């Protein structure tokens, strides 16, 4: 047992559990028969009797995570047999095997394993990288949508307070500036040109990003 990795232990644990369940089911059948019951024999699992789901019971017995049990079962359900063999004999990660079966069809899996465990590992890493990139893009899109909604809400507040004027001041033709030194936003009304920050006198100033608005956190 000390020489087995998580995937191998999960496979052994599942096989042992299923064998025990068959034995326990047979025992319950024999008890019913000895009692002379004429009713149909209901073969129920002993998992409930032990208080918990089967994955948790197996994981605790063999010393792996529940996720490893789920992964191996997924490979059995959706994967080709060769992938489970790779887990058992070549040390393929059950996580990687699960990634493959969740994304590639059995036909694609058969083609993939021709390249051996190296090809399987490379494909799993590729899928993980694509998924990570997708998650990052989705998160950034959500942040942009949130920022856009906040800007819209802020502009609606301004409009409610000041009507169609952009600012409370009647002058709306401005240079929108930003100071990189003190993180201060300020406006210079045309035709004047900004030479320095009015707050700290720094000359490290530039045109302000249009997405900035009062109250926005600045790193």
Span 24-70, pLDDT tens digits: 888 877 877 777 655 555 545 555 555 458 899 999 999 999 999 99
Handedness of CA 58, 61, 62, 67 (dihedral sign): positive
Residue 191, preceding peptide bond in cis (omega within 30° of 0): yes
Q: Is the pLDDT at 209 greater than 70, yes or no?
A: yes
Q: Is the pLDDT at 141 greater than 70, yes or no?
A: yes
Q: Is the pLDDT at 165 greater than 50, yes or no?
A: no
The pLDDT value recorded for residue 168 is: 43
Q: Where does the pLDDT of residue 81 fall: very low under 50, low under 70, confident under 90, or very high at 90 and above?
A: very high
- 3 state DSSP class of 27: helix
Q: Is the pLDDT at 169 greater than 70, yes or no?
A: no
The pLDDT value recorded for residue 150 is: 84
Higher-pLDDT residue of 125 and 177 is: 125
The pLDDT value recorded for residue 161 is: 66
Name the residue among 201, 205, 210 with its Cα closest to residue 177: 205
CA of 24: how far to CAs of 21, 49, 168, in Å?
A: 5, 11, 81
Name the residue among 115, 124, 62, 118 with its Cα closest to residue 94: 124
The pLDDT value recorded for residue 170 is: 43
Handedness of CA 101, 108, 119, 3 (dihedral sign): positive
Q: What is the four-CA torsion angle of 199, 184, 190, 162, rounded to 10 degrees?
A: -110
Higher-pLDDT residue of 191 and 197 is: 197
CA dist., res. 124 & res. 130, Å (int): 10
């Amino acid at each position: 047992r000390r020489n087995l990795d998580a995937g191998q232990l999960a496979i052994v644990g599942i096989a042992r559990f299923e064998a025990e369940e068959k034995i326990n089911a047979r025992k319950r059948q024999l008890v019913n028969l000895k009692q002379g019951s004429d009713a149909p024999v209901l073969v129920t699992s002993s998992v409930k009797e032990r208080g918990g789901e089967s994955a948790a019971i197996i994981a605790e017995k063999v010393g792996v995570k529940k996720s490893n049990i789920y992964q191996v079962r997924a490979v059995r359900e959706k994967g080709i047999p060769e992938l489970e063999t790779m887990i058992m004999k070549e040390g393929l990660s059950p996580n990687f095997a699960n990634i493959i079966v969740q994304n590639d069809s059995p036909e694609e899996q058969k083609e993939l394993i021709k390249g051996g465990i190296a090809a399987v590992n490379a494909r799993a890493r590729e899928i993980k990288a694509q998924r990570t990139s997708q998650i990052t893009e989705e998160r950034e899109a959500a942040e942009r949508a949130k920022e856009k909604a906040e800007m819209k809400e802020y502009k609606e507040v301004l409009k409610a307070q000041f009507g169609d004027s952009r600012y409370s001041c009647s002058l709306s033709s401005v240079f929108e500036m930003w100071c990189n030194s003190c993180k201060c936003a300020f406006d210079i009304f045309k035709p004047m040109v900004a030479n320095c920050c009015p707050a700290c006198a720094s000359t490290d100033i530039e045109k302000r990003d249009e997405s900035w608005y009062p109250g926005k956190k600045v790193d």
